[in-house]
Structure formats: C-alpha cells, structure tokens
Structure 1
Amino acid sequence: MTTFPLGRPAAPALDISGLRVSYRALTALEDVDLSIGWNRVCGLIGTNGSGKSTLFKAIMGLAKPQAGTIRVAGLPAAKARRQSLIAYVPQSEEVDWTFPLSVRDVVMMGRYGSQNWLRSPRRADHAAVAEALERVGMAAFSDRQIGQLSGGQRKRVFVARAIAQNASVLLLDEPFTGVDKTSEAMIVDLLRDLAAAGRSILVSTHDLSSLPALCDEAALINRRIMLHGTPQEVLRPENLALAFGANPLAPRGTIPAALAS
C-alpha cells in the first residue's frame, strides 16, 4: 500500500465535483459529483453510453474535462497520477493483445512510476511483480505472451499490474466482461482484500447480481450521478429506472430490459 508522509489523508480517496466532458457536440458527462472514501469498493452502473468509461478516462487524463475538478487523496488528479497513486484496469477492447509482451512484462509496467528514467527493474520491482502474479494465480504464466491467455486470465494479469503498482486508488472498467466464474470469484476476493487493506476502488460493471457481494456502495450514472448509496438502495427497480428507463412500477427484483442482453 502507498505510504503517505503524514498517514492516510483526511481527504476522500476520490473527490469529483462539477465534472463535464464533451466530445465536440456530444456531452458525455455533465455536472458529475462523486466522493468515495477509503477502504471502500464503489460500483459504477449504467447503460452503454452513460459515461462510465469517459469518467475513468477523465480521472486518468485520457479525456479532457471542460469543467469541474478531480482530486485523488486531496491532490489534483494530474499530480496523483505522477505519484502513481491511481491504477487503471481498462476494458479488454482497449488493449492490443497482439503486442509481443509477456505476462511478466505487463505486470512490470505497474512498477514504471518507481523506476528511473531507463526503467531498469530493481530487485524490489521483480519481487513486487512476482508477489502480484502469485496473488492472482498467474505465476505459472509469467513467460506467456499476454494475447495467448483466456479472457479471465488477462483480467487477472491487469489486476496484478495494479497490485504491483501499489496504488491507493484502483479503477476497473468492466473487469467481469468475458471472464470465467473462477476468475470472477478471484477478482472479487482480491478487490475486497485490497479495500480492507486501505485502498479505494471504483469498478464499473453490468453484472448487477455481483454488486452486494462486491461493493460497499454503488453509483448510478446517466451522464451525471443519478444516485449514490448502498447497493441495495441503488438496485431498487424504481431507482434503476433513473438510468435504464425501466418501468418504476415493475415488480421488485425485475431486471431492466436494457440489461437483459
């Protein structure tokens, strides 16, 4: 875990206020306010196009906000990124799986922020990578080219990269898409362990059934945060209707048609 000079900051792990992101004439996010504390896993749910991935990209500096602020551990997001306080696990579609990198190479990328400009791994870097791969059950695949792995194995490798980075805030964009049940269960357990150890985690998912076991809280997004509360509160059909357009009078437990596919 990242050690702060004066201990864990009093500021929230992630604090977003008035965020707006537009792509030319399209407004992807508008007036987004979201604050997440430490030792928490927050689920981010919404339809495709609701702004989930754009929110992650704005935090990571991959999308430029037109308004608003993003602070991580009390620091501006750009400074937090330079200090490697944030780790990002992207969607599978955003990764070039044909690139000739081994599993070990991918996880070692998480150590770049603590290396010199030549990126020469030290003993501590190799130890951190080996430990991270062991934690996700991928040590035996260290020399395998990343594209040769299954969907679940690939996700576990990227979670290992985040662990090796030793970041305080983890962002995971749809980590359970195309993942087998064994890998999904392992990732859920890992995220719970990481949160218990002091980290803060924001994870987007379409798997609503996993929210109560995975998350301490959940945020419903449709260009802005419509609701932020416990998973049980957010999963009420009348609340899901805010983002998914389901019939708010449908019987309790009904899954919105937008999620049926």
Structure 2
Amino acid sequence: MSGFERSPAFTVRDAVVEYDRVPVLRGVSLTIDAGETVAIVGANGSGKSTLLRAMLGLVNLGSGSIEVHGRPLRRFRDWARVGYVPQRLSAGGGVPATVREVVSSGQVARRRRFRLPTAADRAAVNRALASVGLTERAGDSVHELSGGQQQRVLIARALAAEPDTFVMDEPMAGVDATNQEALATTIGQLSARGATVVVVLHELGPLASLIDRAVTLDDGEIAHDGFPLSPQGDCARPGHDHVHPHADAGRSAPAVPVLEVPRRD
C-alpha cells in the first residue's frame, strides 16, 4: 500500500446532522489517522451510524465539514480506496445472486467500463472468499446463507478490490458467536496489514483486543475518545453474547456501491 499519502483517513469538524429538524449529531469533531482501527460505539439512537454515513457522504451535514484522505468530502473522487460494509445485504431483484457474484461486484469501482474481469480480478475474489471462510459456498445463492454468513459476504465484497480503508456499519449486530469470531479474525488481518478500519459497534465484544481507539457517542455528542472503556451494566455480565438488533432501526442506508482500493504491501 505504499504510494499513498499519509493524510488522516477522515477528519470531521463540528458536524451537525438533523432528521426532520431533530438533532442527531451535535457538533461532532474527530480525526481518524491512516492505519488506525477505530470503533464508534454507543447505544441505539446515539448517532453512531449517522456519523459513519455522514463520513461517506450518505447523509448531508447541516453544518460542519468532513475530509476524506486529505480532501473535502464533496471533492473526494478516489472512492476505490474505501470499502464500505453496510449493516445488511440489500434485497436483490428476481434473480438470486451467488456468493461469488456478490463478492465480484465489489470490483466494479476499480474496473474500466465494459472491461471483463481478468485473472487477477478472479484471484482477488478467491482471496476475499478465503479470508472470510466462504470458499465452499461460492456457488450458493446468498439467500441460502445465514445472517452472519451474509455479513461475511459483504466484507468479502469490500475485500475483493483490496482497498486501504474499510468502513463497517454494525457488522456484529444480530450475528451468532461463530460468525462474530470469523468477522473478528478478518478485521484483525486487515488491521495487521496496515489498513484503516472504522467500525460501528453497539459494544466491542470479540473485537475488544483489536481496537486501537474507541469513540463513544451519547445523544449525538462524543462522550469518550481514547482507549476503549471496560463494558458496563448488562454488557459486563459473564456469558453476555454481544448479539444485538441493528441500530437506527427504521432508517435504511441509501443504496451505494461498495468502493474499494489496492492493498498495501
């Protein structure tokens, strides 16, 4: 991944977002450096998913500014550098897609129009499938998979074009313990190779040892930014499985392509 400048991956300054005139983000400011693994955490409705979507331009700011890799969001064009993993797999049309087809679609942003996949593209898809442990399910319909396996497909789709920045919206929500561990392994591999990882979580769970920094939101404001805090309340109970419903229920993310970039060597 050499050759990229080392500007911060994201710089957020005094970001304000409102839905129907109700404040959701209240002057949020933070900088995420390239190569960091950062969790954005908080209770349902705290604004964490809204912040993530604002950072990608999926939600408009009422005021404030955002930069992506050193450029103002509105002028940033190198979206092939950013792999986005949404909360859930979007419902497809009438024709069911296979796991391989969904993962391959992640390469669209980096290929020239009308260019067919190359051997290198197919090899990257194979590596992505192997990284999430779904090689043997490549020919299956994604609708035959469990929710946790579908989440792994979404991560493989982002991996397929080998970006240097990953943005994940609640990848652990509603996922069983086995799939949580598989997702944690993949995120650990990304972090180890120097990728930037920004992940929205209800709580750290099996990712706790992988997180460099936690940004906790409370009612649209940053309540903590630094070393991850120990779990409190129910989340601290022995045996707590860290499986929760998706945050911001009722607010679906806009349909956007998964956008990725070359891997750092």
TM-score band (shorter)? Answer: 0.7 to 0.9
- TM-score, with structure 2 as normaliser: 0.80
Q: CA separation in 2, counterparts of 1:178 and 1:203?
A: 15
Give, in angstroms, the shift of residue 220 of structure 1.
0.4
CA contact (8 A) 1:135 1:160 kept: yes
RMSD of equivalent CA atoms = 2.5
Alignment partners' CA distance in 2, 1:128 and 1:209: 29
Change beyond 3 A, Cα 1:56–1:191: same
Distance 1:98 1:117, change over 3 A: closer
Which ranges of structure 1 fall in alignment gaps of 5 or more residues?
238-245, 247-252
The correspondence for 2:48, drawn from 48, 52, 71, is: 52
One-letter code of the match for 2:143? G
CA distance in 2, matches of 1:31, 1:63: 15
Unaligned runs of 5+ in 2: 245-265
Give the corresponding residue for 1:112: 108
Q: Which position in structure 2 is the counterpart of 1:145?
A: 141
Q: Distance in 2 between matches of 1:121 and 1:78?
A: 30
Alpha-carbon offset, residue 133 of structure 1: 0.5
User: Which residues of 2 match residues 192-231 of structure 1 at below 5 A?
Assistant: 192-222=188-218, 223-231=220-228
Structure 1 residue 68 displacement after superposition = 1.7
Question: What CA deviation, in whole Å up to 9, does each residue of 1:227-258 have, x standing for no partner?
Answer: 10101xx3375xxxxxxxx8xxxxxx689xxx
Query: Does the aligned pair in 1 maintain the 2:142–2:150 contact within 8 Å?
Result: yes
Q: Pick one of 88, 91, 96 that aligns with 2:84.
A: 88
Deviations 1:63-116, CA, capped at 9 Å, x for gaps: 111222222221233554543121111112x62166622111211121111112
1:141-184 CA-to-partner distances (Å, cap 9, x unmatched) read 11211111011211111111111122222111111122222221
> 1:189 — aligned with what?
185
| C-alpha distance in 1 between matches for 2:80 and 2:39 | 22
Q: 1:170 aligns with which of 166, 170, 177?
A: 166
Q: Counterpart of 2:97 in 1: which secondary structure?
A: coil
| Partner in structure 1 of residue 118 of structure 2 | 122
Q: CA deviation at 1:11?
A: 1.7
User: 1:119/1:95 Cα in 2 relative to 1: closer, same or farther (>3 Å)?
Assistant: farther
Quote how far apart the aligned CAs of 1:140 are.
1.2
| Amino acid paired to 2:201 | T
